[in-house]
Amino acid sequence: MSMQSILDGTTAFLEHLGLSEEPFGVHYADTKPADAYGPKTGVPISRELEEQGTLNMQEVMHTFSCVMGNIWLARKKGRAAFISQEEYGCPGGTFYCAMMKPHLRFVEHYVSTGFEGTPLQGERYMPTPDSMRNFMCTVNPRTAPAKYAIFKPLSQFTDGEKPEFVIFFARPEVMCGLFTQTVFTTGDMECVVSPFGAGCTNILGWPLHYKEKGLEKAVLGGFDPSARKYMKTDEMTFTVPLSLYEKMLAALPESMFTHETDWSGVRKKVERSARAWGEE
């Protein structure tokens, strides 16, 4: 499917869904777009430096910048966001976005129970550093094929620069439509998954994981407490590999959106939600 066909199909899909915000696409490239939002260059990080005891995490966190935060800015301005190995912003995000392997052991403690005997109490999202280590080793995204991971509005892609994944930001009524269209397209009752992860894990890390396994899975995210500040109230994320998204668009003519179904009632709730949030 050409990029123009994808964009035309997306326009029709958004109208069916009642969603006013176009999705983002993500791809890897060696050049970042002009005026893109992203982290400043940080001090070098690696597991090797960490194990040598020469990695100062205070210096690392001095240039902290969340992937979801930069995407939030890009969404509001209609621009792009990026992350790279040098401009990483977050020691977790750089791993989830495939910019660094293996992960820093610091993250195992930071996301769980912290370091005993220190002021760092940890986020308490995982019960132990071991459970967090298991999570990191399971996600295990591939190594990035280019310098930058770039997130930008779908309409900014061309035939020579297609996205690898398509990311929707939406509230539950719209998510109902996305979920059902994915099931209708695949016939797979488990085609939508929602594993634990940071905001950027669920929009890129887990999608990469499933793609590397040859599985076409949509990933529902937005449950990371730390990422909620960069999302609208009640909003979630829904990431689909491009191959599956093209099939979803092709299946629209036979879907519930073009037949007499209960979707018409849900669509009215979508409109009520938009009015309630001043997004008509």
Which two structure tokens, joined as six digits, stand for 242?
Answer: 């491009």
Report CA-CA distances (Å) from 153 to 13, 167, 184, 199: 15, 9, 26, 18
Mean pLDDT of 243-250: 98
The shares of helix, strand and coil residues in the chain, as percent rounded to the nearest 5, are: 45, 10, 45
77 and 60 in contact (C-beta within 8 Å)? no
Distance CA 34, CA 183 (A): 38
- The overall longest dimension of the chain from CA atoms, in Å, is 64
Residue 57, C-beta contacts closer than 8 angstroms, at least 6 positions apart: 91, 106
Which SS3 state, helix, strand or coil, does residue 221 take? strand
In a domain, 178, yes or no: yes
Q: pLDDT of 77-126, one tens digit each?
A: 999 999 999 999 999 999 999 999 999 999 999 999 998 877 778 999 99
- Please give the DSSP secondary-structure letter assigned to residue 213: T
In a domain, 234, yes or no: yes
Q: pLDDT of 250-259, one tens digit each?
A: 999 999 999 9
In a domain, 200, yes or no: yes
**280 pLDDT more than 90:** no
Residue 41, C-beta contacts closer than 8 angstroms, at least 6 positions apart: 63, 86, 87
Total domains, the chain? 1
**226 pLDDT more than 90:** yes
As to burial, measured by CB atoms within 10 angstroms (0-12 exposed, 13-18 middle, 19+ buried), residue 264 is: exposed
What integer best gives the mean pLDDT of the chain?
96
Distance CA 66, CA 157 (A): 23
Residue 116 is predicted with a pLDDT of: 80
Report CA-CA distances (Å) from 122 to 131, 139, 228, 242: 14, 21, 18, 36
Domain that holds residue 214: 3-21+164-276
Q: pLDDT of 28-46, one tens digit each?
A: 999 999 999 999 999 999 9
Residue 159 is predicted with a pLDDT of: 83
In a domain, 105, yes or no: no
Tell me the pTM: 0.95
Residue with more model confidence, 71 or 120: 71
Distance CA 201, CA 122 (A): 18
Mean pLDDT of 205-223: 97
> CA 10, 15, 21, 26: dihedral to nearest 10 degrees?
-20
**15 pLDDT more than 80:** yes
Residue 120 is predicted with a pLDDT of: 79
In a domain, 272, yes or no: yes
> Confidence class of residue 3 from pLDDT cuts 50, 70 and 90?
very high
Which SS3 state, helix, strand or coil, does residue 238 take? strand
In a domain, 73, yes or no: no
Distance CA 249, CA 125 (A): 36
In a domain, 254, yes or no: yes
In a domain, 94, yes or no: no
